[in-house]
């Protein structure tokens, strides 16, 4: 168990969507020394940038959130970049953190690492039972290699690496850029833009039959801080709510909450992505007491209200 107040914590990606919530949760837990290496000052894709960040921050704990991410379209357009930058950043950061004497390293993985046809709900023991869904595979495999690295470092060096696997996140402050956003912010923006322009329909990728599970960003931050404080195991741990929703139902809900009265035009020529995605959350509850508390509709309304307030 970690005694928080005396610990120095480095949070990569701490200025990003999830990172801002994690930093606030750490501060609420009593951590006064949180170091966030900004990309303008430290290029974490390079060993030199990582070494300088570790030297300046002098962390005892590293929480690695920084990642190059996007929705299905961005994954299709940038498979090489998404693989290389996520892999090289994580591999080098873990190695340099070990060499710098960091006590604990918390790696944030991705649900995209799961096999395309893993039994639902996804259990952590099924991670290796198949190849990921093709559009997400380079990103998912890059993250999965960091699970391999963490286990190898634990075995050879006794390095305390924890691997957490969140499902799709959403919430205020999400990325609403249509070129790189995930499904919830993309749909909210489509609806709000259609309302503003008076359009009579929105276009949505796929057939709507695929399912997804969504975790509110502040619940994810709570889980990460709990795991950092309470969990020291080698086993990867899912972070989610344990419930899935079809994309068709998701679209209908967002359309209603946004107040858009037009039609939804589906484009089945575009990919659905992984057919189903929902996780087993028992391990997180058993190992460090995490259960999500934000209802999906409440979380969506907070996200929509946040986006609307900035237009």
Q: What is the pLDDT of residue 276?
A: 87
Taking the C-alpha atoms of residue 270 and residue 276, their distance in angstroms, rounded to an integer, is: 16
Q: How far is CA 129 from CA 116, 137, 233, 235, in A?
A: 9, 14, 21, 16
**Annotation says 139 is catalytic:** yes
Taking the C-alpha atoms of residue 192 and residue 185, their distance in angstroms, rounded to an integer, is: 10
CATH of domain 4-174+213-243+277-294: 3.40.50.720
CB atoms under 10 Å from CB of 153, counted, come to 18
Task: Note down pLDDT in tens along the chain; length 311 residues.
Answer: 566 678 999 999 999 999 999 999 999 999 989 999 998 999 999 999 999 999 999 999 999 999 987 767 777 888 999 999 999 999 999 999 999 999 999 999 999 999 999 999 999 999 999 999 998 899 999 999 999 999 999 999 999 999 999 999 999 999 998 877 889 999 999 999 999 999 999 999 999 999 999 999 999 999 999 999 999 999 999 999 999 999 999 999 999 999 999 999 999 998 888 888 899 999 999 999 999 999 999 999 999 999 999 87
Q: Parse the chain into domains and list their residue ranges.
A: 4-174+213-243+277-294
The answer to whether the pTM exceeds 0.95 is no
Task: Identify whether 121 is preceded by a cis peptide bond (ω within 30 of 0).
Answer: yes
User: Which one from 105, 114, 139, 216 is the annotated catalytic residue?
Assistant: 139
């Amino acid at each position: 168990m970690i005694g928080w107040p005396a610990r120095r914590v480095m949070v990569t990606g701490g200025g990003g969507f999830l990172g801002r919530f994690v930093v606030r949760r750490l501060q609420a837990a009593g951590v006064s020394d949180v170091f966030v290496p900004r990309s303008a000052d430290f290029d974490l894709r390079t060993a030199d940038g990582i070494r300088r960040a570790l030297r300046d921050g002098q962390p005892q704990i590293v929480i690695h959130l920084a990642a190059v991410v996007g929705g299905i379209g961005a994954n299709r357009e940038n498979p090489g970049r998404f693989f290389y930058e996520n892999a090289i950043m994580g591999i080098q950061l873990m190695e340099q953190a070990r060499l710098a004497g960091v006590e604990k390293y918390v790696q944030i993985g991705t649900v995209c690492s799961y096999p395309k046809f893993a039994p639902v709900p996804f259990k952590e023991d099924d991670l290796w039972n198949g190849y990921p869904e093709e559009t997400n595979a380079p990103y998912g495999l890059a993250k999965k290699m960091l699970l391999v690295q963490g286990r190898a470092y634990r075995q050879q060096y006794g390095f305390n690496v924890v691997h957490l696997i969140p499902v799709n996140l959403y919430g205020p402050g999400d990325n609403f850029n249509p070129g790189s956003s995930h499904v919830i912010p993309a749909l909210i923006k489509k609806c709000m833009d259609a309302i503003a322009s008076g359009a009579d329909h929105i276009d949505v990728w796929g057939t709507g039959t695929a399912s997804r599970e969504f975790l509110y960003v502040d619940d994810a931050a709570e889980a990460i801080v709990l795991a950092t404080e309470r969990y020291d195991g080698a086993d990867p741990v899912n972070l989610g709510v344990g419930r899935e929703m079809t994309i068709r139902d998701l679209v209908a809900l967002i359309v209603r909450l946004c107040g858009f009265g037009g039609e939804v035009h589906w484009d089945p020529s575009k990919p659905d992505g992984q057919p189903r995605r929902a996780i087993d959350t028992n391990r997180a509850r058993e190992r460090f007491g995490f259960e999500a508390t934000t209802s999906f509709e409440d979380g969506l309304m907070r996200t929509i209200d946040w986006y609307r307030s900035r237009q």
